[in-house]
Chains A and B, each alone.
Chain A
């Protein structure tokens, strides 16, 4: 299944960059550590999103549902039994169940995989923008269920007391894992087949590519990874309510993917870095910053407006994103080759 020229550079470089960032943050103030941890979690989520959208070309508005589902599953499994008894009404076995972080994360992601399979099976046959609309419907359905199923999710009430298992290093590890899986998948034959269908559905079908099947495979992998991101988030915030992951999160993660360039893994990761930096900038501006003796404070809403404007500018002037669909490995490979050829002529 392995192609002739395996690109190990891209995941290695990306992992190295993230590791460097984590290392730097570990010497910084706790506030900065939180920012970097959150960014790493977003890397997991957006890489998950990329695995599906980038390879299939289908925009998914519903990946946040996978985050919600995994987050709640993990919450139920890891919350202190006392709290569960008070906030939720679960069957006795489930209520008494108390697992540690790793197994519950695994179960949560598996749950996502099953949901992805169930929803993907009928939907991924559809053409054009219809599957995207279906993912949007999935988002709404998940949200409505989460808001109203008081016994299981606590309804609109926040679930509190989630163990804060997400550290800088666990999120780094998960980010590297996500990148590794994404890099592996897109270099398999399956991934390549899916990308054929991205360019031209009709042509791909005519040469026998089973588009629905490839999409489902990508969706399942992608759901598990985005779900992992959801779990990380829940155990980073310590609380969870249905609005934690809904339209704003959907927009943010899509923006990260679009800005970096949704056709490459490097783009996905870069997008997270850029968008997170911009939003952090505005967040601290909103808290007020003193420059040259005057106080500046951005108003609420400015961050979102700025992000939306950036996204629109990219979409209009550089729709392929900042990275334009190329991988770091390709760029470095080209430089190496051109420096070799200049050596040859010297």
Chain B
């Protein structure tokens, strides 16, 4: 039964990482930008939820969602739009700078110490199914993630904007040449990534009960790994990569001998480097990687 428990944990973590990877991969696919600042979207949601402590749940969640989307769009408009034609190296460093800026703005306003926050305490109970004890939060999280992923699949297959985004991800210039508006597609990518970040934040805050200026860092690092593993530029790949990384992470945690467990992340990133060497284009080869000669 323990194995089943582990399996469910793995699926849950995988789903979370899939969302994180999608958030990062979406922006990369339309802009060639690896958004280090994605983590700060999560932080913004966390602090918004904290600031509205005591308000009805709907208000807290709604405001959090709004904060993520607005911040994402703001980021795009002020920091990344001017750099749209810049080379990937400059974009990378810029997003790093934006991330650093936002982190320390939080420090400036709220201080550097972690703060305790209560969100959805009702979900901290567990449900007993046979010998399994499943945290309610995990169940809700898996359900919500599946719903979200399903929504995204629908959006990208059926809605015109979604199809335009897929086209733009494959060949941005050609998409413009058929009339797809560059600004709309990029703004949409950022907005959606904000939405995904909000979900991640809700889960993280509900699960850990704390917020801090660095709360987005860990998830974002994993998101990059997942997005690269999946194949930058391929949205399905990003989701798959997230799942894979989540499962691997839980697997390492479970199967590593006790003395090695603190090194779990080192192993994870070591495997990542090995993966980069063996299959740098990722699992699902998106056209994003091929240089346009």
B is a partner of A: yes
Q: Residues of A with Cβ closer than 8 Å to B?
A: 57-59, 61, 119, 122-123, 125-130, 132-134, 136-138, 140-141, 144-145, 147-148, 201-202, 247, 251, 254-255, 258, 299-302, 304-305, 307-309, 311-312, 315-316, 319
B276 interface hit (Cβ, 8 Å):
yes
Contact A129–B107 (Cβ < 8 Å)? no
Within 8 A of A (CB), among B93-113: 93-94, 96-98, 100-101, 103-108, 111-112
Contact of B89 among A58, A122, A140, A144 (CB under 8 A): A58
Contact B82–A300 (Cβ < 8 Å)? no
A132/B92 contact (C-beta < 8 A), A308-B97, A308-B101, A315-B83 known: yes
Contact B291–A128 (Cβ < 8 Å)? yes
Contact A122–B82 (Cβ < 8 Å)? no
A138/B273 contact (C-beta < 8 A), A129-B89, A132-B89, A301-B108 known: yes
**Cα–Cα, bound, A122→B273 (Å):** 9
Contact of B276 among A57, A130, A300, A316 (CB under 8 A): A130
- A53's nearest neighbour on chain B, judged by CB, is B89
Q: Residues of B with Cβ closer than 8 Å to A?
A: 34, 79, 82-83, 86, 88-90, 92-94, 96-98, 100-101, 103-108, 111-112, 217, 221, 224-225, 228, 262-263, 265-266, 269-270, 272-273, 276-277, 280, 289, 291, 293
**Cα–Cα, bound, A147→B265 (Å):** 11
In the complex, what residues of A have CB within 8 A of residue B266's CB? 140-141, 144-145, 148
Contact A255–B97 (Cβ < 8 Å)? yes
**Cα–Cα, bound, A125→B277 (Å):** 8
The majority secondary structure among interface residues of chain A is helix
Kindly provide the distance from the CB of A49 to the nearest chain B CB, expressed in whole angstroms: 12
**Cα–Cα, bound, A309→B97 (Å):** 8
- B111's nearest neighbour on chain A, judged by CB, is A300
Kindly provide the distance from the CB of A126 to the nearest chain B CB, expressed in whole angstroms: 5
Contact B276–A128 (Cβ < 8 Å)? no
A133/B228 contact (C-beta < 8 A), A141-B269, A145-B263, A148-B263 known: yes
**Cα–Cα, bound, A254→B289 (Å):** 25
Kindly provide the distance from the CB of B104 to the nearest chain A CB, expressed in whole angstroms: 4
- Enumerate 5 A-B pairs (CB-CB under 8 Å) in ascending A order: A58-B89, A123-B277, A129-B88, A136-B221, A301-B104
A130/B228 contact (C-beta < 8 A), A59-B89, A145-B263, A300-B112 known: yes
**Cα–Cα, bound, A258→B277 (Å):** 28
- A317's nearest neighbour on chain B, judged by CB, is B82
A137/B272 contact (C-beta < 8 A), A128-B88, A308-B97, A315-B90 known: yes
Contact A57–B89 (Cβ < 8 Å)? yes
Contact B269–A59 (Cβ < 8 Å)? no
In the complex, what residues of B have CB within 8 A of residue A126's CB? 276-277, 280
In the complex, what residues of A have CB within 8 A of residue B263's CB? 144-145, 148
Contact A319–B291 (Cβ < 8 Å)? no
A304/B291 contact (C-beta < 8 A), A130-B228, A315-B90 known: no
Kindly provide the distance from the CB of B103 to the nearest chain A CB, expressed in whole angstroms: 8
- B217's nearest neighbour on chain A, judged by CB, is A247
A59/B93 contact (C-beta < 8 A), A140-B265, A251-B100 known: yes
Q: Which of A58, A145, A255, A315 has the most CB of B within 10 A?
A: A315
